[in-house]
């Protein structure tokens, strides 16, 4: 995969491929976090495949979703193993729930989403699926005292790519990528700070027999309970 500067140049050349009007995606959360399962404050500090809080400047919020409820469970590591082979529940994860989330990314003008699971898009940046789904955690875990000591102390190439896409703030509300847990499915990464007028992410749950809704939108990037 290219280095960070080349990725940034490649991201600048990309154009949004489509909007996502009223599509359903899935997210696993602890039941204790259900009232604010789309809150994004913690994501500013939490490393992920496409985000490194130690190198991102500025730091930015992200929301991760999967295109299938089983994939969401693998991504959250409440299921262990792999498909189509063995899968078992993770006994350390406690109580959790799969949310069905409505995502509506309408885009305005040239703004939209980019699909990194598309081979043509990958060709524009020169990463392969293998690179997009490979090791990212090791870049911060390796040290002079580990058996494998390099590369280390830097963002992973996928994290550099996520940052480069985010920095193209005039273009992208988010992007799709191949799941590293289930190779036949996709994840959606949304940038709450880049949501455009009319775009939103929302889920509904039942609380003591009354429906409640929580929405993330342009004016509320960390989300709010709807009246």
Could you tell me the two tokens for 15? Answer: 């154009």
Residues 3-36 have pLDDT tens digits of: 554 555 556 566 665 666 668 999 999 888 887 8
Tell me the sheet residues that pair with 186: 178
Which residue carries 């994860």 as its tokens? Answer: 93
Residues 167-212 have pLDDT tens digits of: 876 678 999 999 999 989 999 999 999 998 889 999 988 878 888 8
Residue 18 CA to residue 115 CA, distance in Å, equals 8
Which residue carries 């295109």 as its tokens? Answer: 67
Residues 58-81 have pLDDT tens digits of: 899 999 999 999 999 999 999 898
Which residue carries 């969401």 as its tokens? Answer: 72
With a pLDDT cut of 70, the percent of the chain lying above it is 84
Nearest residue to 181 via CA among 2, 20, 7, 28: 28
Could you tell me the two tokens for 43? Answer: 């994501």
- pTM check: above 0.85: yes
What residues does each domain of the chain span?
4-222
């Amino acid at each position: 995969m290219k280095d960070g500067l080349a990725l940034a140049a490649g991201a600048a050349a990309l154009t949004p491929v489509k909007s996502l009007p009223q599509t359903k995606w899935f997210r696993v959360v602890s039941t204790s976090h259900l009232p604010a399962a789309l809150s994004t404050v913690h994501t500013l500090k939490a490393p992920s495949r496409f985000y490194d809080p130690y190198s991102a400047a500025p730091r930015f919020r992200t929301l991760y979703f999967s295109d299938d409820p089983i994939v969401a469970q693998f991504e959250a590591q409440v299921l262990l193993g792999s498909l189509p082979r063995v899968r078992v529940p993770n006994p350390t994860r406690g109580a959790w729930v799969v949310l069905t989330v409505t995502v509506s990314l309408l885009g305005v003008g040239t703004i939209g989403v980019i699909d990194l699971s598309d081979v043509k898009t990958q060709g524009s940046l020169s990463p392969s699926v293998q690179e997009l789904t490979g090791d990212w955690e090791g870049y911060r875990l390796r040290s002079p005292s580990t058996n494998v000591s390099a590369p280390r102390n830097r963002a992973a190439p996928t994290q550099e790519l996520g940052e480069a896409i985010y920095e193209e703030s005039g273009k992208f509300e988010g992007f799709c990528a191949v799941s590293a847990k289930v190779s036949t499915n996709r994840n959606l990464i949304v940038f709450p700070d880049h949501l455009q007028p009319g775009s939103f992410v929302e889920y509904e749950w039942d609380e003591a027999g009354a429906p409640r809704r929580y929405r993330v939108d342009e004016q509320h990037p960390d989300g709010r309970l709807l009246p």
